[in-house]
Structure 1
Amino acid sequence: MNNKNLTLLGFSLLLVYTQFSFSQEISSTQFGKGLLNLVGKDSTWSMKVGARMQLLSTFNWTEEGENGFSNSEQNFLVRRARLKFNGFAYSPKLKYKIELGLSNRDISGGSEFTRNTPRYILDAVVMWNFYQNFELWVGQTKLPGNIERVISSGDLQQVDRSLLNSRFNIDRDIGFQLRHHFNIGSKFLVREKFAFSQGEGRNVTEGNLGGHQYTTRLELLPFGKFEGKGDYRGADLNREPKPKLMLGATYDINDDAVRTRSNMGSYMFTDNGFHKTDISTLFLDLMFKYNGFSLMGEYAYRDADKPVAINLDNTETGDVVQVGKGVNLQSGYLFKKNWEVSARYTNIKLDYDITGKNPETQYTLGLSKYIVGHKLKVQTDLSYLNVDNGFDTLMYRLQLDVHF
């Protein structure tokens, strides 16, 4: 972010704070519970202001024949730096969330379709509990995709998400979501989620290039709710006294998609505009927790009607949809002093005949120290990536996570 943008952002926050200070009550909070809790004097609105950052160091070694892992690289960066605002407007049944990304990684990806501007907005969504267990979401936020993607990057069990997520996730989009839940008996919980979105990804401003995206997710919790929403948080920090399980399935179809990974990836240009194809993505996942032990499993499968982009004369452009499948298994155990050891296995098999990419297998061992839960933690992991007929890679990461 350049100095001009920083100045404008700082001035805006100062102006907002000044205006709020004359119109509401401000309460202090505990660490990790937000910077400020604001409530209107007439109690018709509230806002919690939060901030978080992740400071990451990465070391990579690439195999070079007989020399072994000798080609080394290192990188230090602010992986994430974000501001968060959430609360209710007019009624507790009308909630909202705004999340802004400030690091270079957060705002990268500007293009002619985002007016070549940084993509500051991560979430800008309103959630209306309009009838009993029904909730309508409007705006830009995460689609109800694979569990690993919906878990906040600040609540992960390891330093970052897996290769399965980076290859197959459907991320954020703008549109509508309808959510509902009901119980079968005293404990069995069923959650249904439906989304209708633009299908181009977040912060696209230049219209809908293809069709639309339709997402359906079903979640089954046979033993009831997890403690502290632990089904969407890494590690069993609540030390579930009884076994808890969530089984989930998502099916997503992006009609006339123009990007290589549904609503993500590069645009598929041709000499006649865009290559358009229907892309479908299936996710099956689970989360299990009990007494400090946690297990997460994911399966992903992606297909497309016309995965290879072609010009009018039937020549290939070089762009292809990343079709294929992947498996991710991750487990950990939390010791009494909030040290956790974890392990992850990920296997990716994209269709070689279409994508030209060889299968990948990654093994990761992680160690985490939760000082104040996920709000203040230090995480480190070591990964070995094996690529068929390619160069293997060894990666070490160390990250500090701080949430206010």
Structure 2
Amino acid sequence: MKKVWLCFGFMLLSALAVSTAQADMSQGELRLQAMEEKVDSLSATDNKVNYNTHKVSTTNDVRLSYGSKGFRLETGNGLFQTNLAWRAQMRFTGLEEGDPRRMGDFGPDDDVHTFETRRVRMKIGGHGYKPWIKYYFEVDLQPMADCCGGDQSRDSRTRVIDWRIDVQPWEWFGIRVGQWKINYNRERVDSSGKQQFVERSIVNRQFTIDRQIGVMAQGHLFKGTLADMRYYAGVFNGEGKGVYNPDDNFMYMGRIQWNFLGRDLKWKQSDVSRHKKPTGSLAFAAAQNNGVCTRWSSSGCGNLDEFTDEGAAAPEQFNIRQYVQEFAFKWNGLSIQEEYHWKRVHDTGQQYIRYMEGAYAQVGYFFNELVSFVPPQLEVAFRYAFVDEPDTNFDPYGNTPHYQNHRNEFTGAINWFVADHNNKITVDASLLTLDNNRTGFEDEEARVRVQWDITF
């Protein structure tokens, strides 16, 4: 009997020893597994880009994707991102090439039929170090040049037209520095690739303040409420793109935008995405500048037809004050946009003041929202615009009355959206008129344009 109990005790002790050894082994395995996971996590952390006072570390953890902004490279931790896109506008224009402004621009002798690559652009943007430190620049690769002699280098050379950095740590306040189409009015800031028509209205040349170099404060206040608004306030050289300020005068600009339905409206025309809720904005802006420019464009500083050329003007010759009121609205395929401009130019050299005003209103609609058999890619749009400006032959000393040129634009358009604004075909037709009150001259020109706008 003792032998039986001894055998039983030996077996019990053996079982306890085995179970203890197994427990010790499982604890060891758990520790080993935990250690391996920690090493893996440290390796993963080291593999993601980081930075400190001394350097930016190198990483292989980079993700490649493609979306509406083009090809995207982004680090695994999201601290650095770059988007690259290529864009081209291929256009045919018939009858009238541009916007006729003077009596000599009208008539059958000025009819033009031409193919052109209107814009070929490379766009690069993204963020670095923090998601709220954003950058963007745009290169114009092939601006079109005029035919038949002359210095074409300024018009046809490759040029950087936009470069800017946004530092926006809070929605309510941020800073932008660089060169860009400053946020004065919607028609100009809306990209040429996100327009509702082949080109901007006749108002644009007269009143845009275009690209400038400077600094601007911006912010979004009371978001999502009926007091939802954006503000912009900036100081700029005032000489257009890529030019030093030759004196101690600056251009000043301010804009306030009220999103009266509590929803923000992007800088983009046509309601391709179909806003399910009505979204609108009402904005007012003002700008002032002392210098040699009376207008601005993508080429920089310029002069309006009735004023001294910027190359011959004296420093600070022109004192400019201008204002704009703007309205925009989108809902279920309907888009409406309107601007009214007023401008005062004081020529201190000739000692006279001239006033001008202009406005445009445009509406577009995707009729498949109303009639089901209409293709959802098809949009129909119409625009009316006018400009009242001084006559090019006015007497600067006021010995004769101040006559005005009155110009009108009536444009209808059809858009076919293959992939939003990234791939679309636009056909528009315009009637452009001029009434010269000094001579009683009245005339009109027709224009037809077809354009394919595509982004890769």
TM-score range, shorter chain: 0.7 to 0.9
CA contact (8 A) 1:142 1:172 kept: yes
Deviation at 1:132, TM superposition (A): 4.9
CA contact (8 A) 2:202 2:385 kept: yes
Q: 1:73 is paired with a residue of what secondary structure?
A: coil
Q: Which residue of 2 is the match for residue 212 of structure 1? A: 250
Q: Which residue of 1 is the match for residue 281 of structure 2? A: 246
Q: 2:283 is paired with a residue of what secondary structure?
A: strand
Q: Does 1:151 align with 2:200?
A: no
Q: 2:66 is paired with a residue of what secondary structure?
A: coil
Of 120, 128, 137, the match for 1:89: 128
Q: State the one-letter code of the partner of 2:69.
A: K
Q: Which residue of 2 is the match for residue 378 of structure 1? A: 425
Q: State the one-letter code of the partner of 1:386.
A: T
> What is the alpha-carbon distance in structure 2 between the residues aligned to residue 372 and residue 343 of structure 1?
22
Q: Which residue of 1 is the match for residue 83 of structure 2? A: 48
Structure 2 CA distance for partners of 1:117 and 1:158, relative to 1, 3 Å:
closer
TM-score, normalising length: structure 2: 0.72
Mapping of residues 306-345 of structure 1, within 5 Å: 306=347, 309-310=349-350, 323-336=355-368, 337-345=376-384
Q: Which residue of 2 is the match for residue 264 of structure 1? A: 301
Q: State the one-letter code of the partner of 1:365.
A: G
CA contact (8 A) 1:268 1:274 kept: no
Q: State the one-letter code of the partner of 1:333.
A: Y
Of 173, 180, 204, the match for 2:212: 173
Q: Does 1:78 align with 2:117?
A: yes
Of 319, 323, 328, the match for 1:278: 319
Q: Does 1:360 align with 2:407?
A: yes
Question: What RMSD in Å do the two structures reach over aligned CA positions?
Answer: 3.1
CA contact (8 A) 2:224 2:263 kept: no
Identity %: 26
> What is the alpha-carbon distance in structure 1 between the residues aligned to residue 226 and residue 330 of structure 2?
16
Q: Which has the larger radius of gyration?
A: 2
Deviation at 1:152, TM superposition (A): 0.7
Structure 2 CA distance for partners of 1:94 and 1:172, relative to 1, 3 Å:
same
CA contact (8 A) 2:253 2:287 kept: yes
Deviation at 1:274, TM superposition (A): 3.6
Deviation at 1:209, TM superposition (A): 5.0
> What is the alpha-carbon distance in structure 2 between the residues aligned to residue 33 and residue 180 of structure 1?
23
Task: Give 5+ residue unaligned stretches, structure 1.
Answer: 1-20, 315-319
Q: Does 1:59 align with 2:94?
A: yes
Deviation at 1:40, TM superposition (A): 3.5
Q: State the one-letter code of the partner of 2:338.
A: G
CA contact (8 A) 1:61 1:70 kept: no
CA contact (8 A) 1:282 1:301 kept: yes
Deviation at 1:142, TM superposition (A): 1.3
> What is the alpha-carbon distance in structure 1 between the residues aligned to residue 405 and residue 218 of structure 2?
38
Structure 2 CA distance for partners of 1:116 and 1:164, relative to 1, 3 Å:
closer
Mean CA deviation greater in 44-53 or 380-389: 44-53
Task: Give 5+ residue unaligned stretches, structure 2.
Answer: 1-57, 304-308, 369-375, 397-401, 436-440
* 1:46-95 residue CA offsets vs partner (Å, 9 max, x unmatched): 1111111100110115999xxx8686311111101111111111111211
Q: 1:232 is paired with a residue of what secondary structure?
A: coil
Deviation at 1:261, TM superposition (A): 1.6
Structure 2 CA distance for partners of 1:240 and 1:115, relative to 1, 3 Å:
closer
Q: Does 1:25 align with 2:62?
A: yes
> What is the alpha-carbon distance in structure 2 between the residues aligned to residue 213 and residue 106 of structure 1?
30
> What is the alpha-carbon distance in structure 2 between the residues aligned to residue 198 and residue 118 of structure 1?
23
> What is the alpha-carbon distance in structure 1 between the residues aligned to residue 424 and residue 220 of structure 2?
33
Q: State the one-letter code of the partner of 2:385.
A: T
Q: State the one-letter code of the partner of 1:278.
A: N
Of 73, 88, 99, the match for 1:38: 73
> What is the alpha-carbon distance in structure 1 between the residues aligned to residue 415 and residue 179 of structure 2?
32
CA contact (8 A) 2:324 2:340 kept: yes
Q: 1:97 is paired with a residue of what secondary structure?
A: strand
Q: 1:188 is paired with a residue of what secondary structure?
A: coil
Deviation at 1:105, TM superposition (A): 4.2
Deviation at 1:257, TM superposition (A): 1.7
* 1:274-316 residue CA offsets vs partner (Å, 9 max, x unmatched): 4522201111110011111111111011102227x54xxx9xx
> What is the alpha-carbon distance in structure 1 between the residues aligned to residue 177 and residue 256 of structure 2?
20
Q: Which residue of 1 is the match for residue 199 of structure 2? A: 160
Mean CA deviation greater in 53-62 or 392-401: 53-62
> What is the alpha-carbon distance in structure 1 between the residues aligned to residue 164 and residue 82 of structure 2?
14
CA contact (8 A) 1:362 1:385 kept: yes
> What is the alpha-carbon distance in structure 1 between the residues aligned to residue 230 and residue 263 of structure 2?
11
* 1:131-163 residue CA offsets vs partner (Å, 9 max, x unmatched): 452110011111111110011110001111001
Q: State the one-letter code of the partner of 1:60.
A: L
Q: Which residue of 1 is the match for residue 336 of structure 2? A: 295
> What is the alpha-carbon distance in structure 1 between the residues aligned to residue 360 and residue 379 of structure 2?
19
Deviation at 1:224, TM superposition (A): 2.0
Q: 2:294 is paired with a residue of what secondary structure?
A: strand
Mean CA deviation greater in 171-180 or 386-395: 386-395
* 1:165-210 residue CA offsets vs partner (Å, 9 max, x unmatched): 12111101011010012117734311110010000011125x4357
Deviation at 1:33, TM superposition (A): 3.3
> What is the alpha-carbon distance in structure 1 between the residues aligned to residue 323 and residue 145 of structure 2?
26
Structure 2 CA distance for partners of 1:137 and 1:185, relative to 1, 3 Å:
closer
Q: 2:95 is paired with a residue of what secondary structure?
A: strand
Structure 2 CA distance for partners of 1:347 and 1:204, relative to 1, 3 Å:
same
CA contact (8 A) 1:218 1:250 kept: yes
- Which structure has the highest strand share of the two? 1
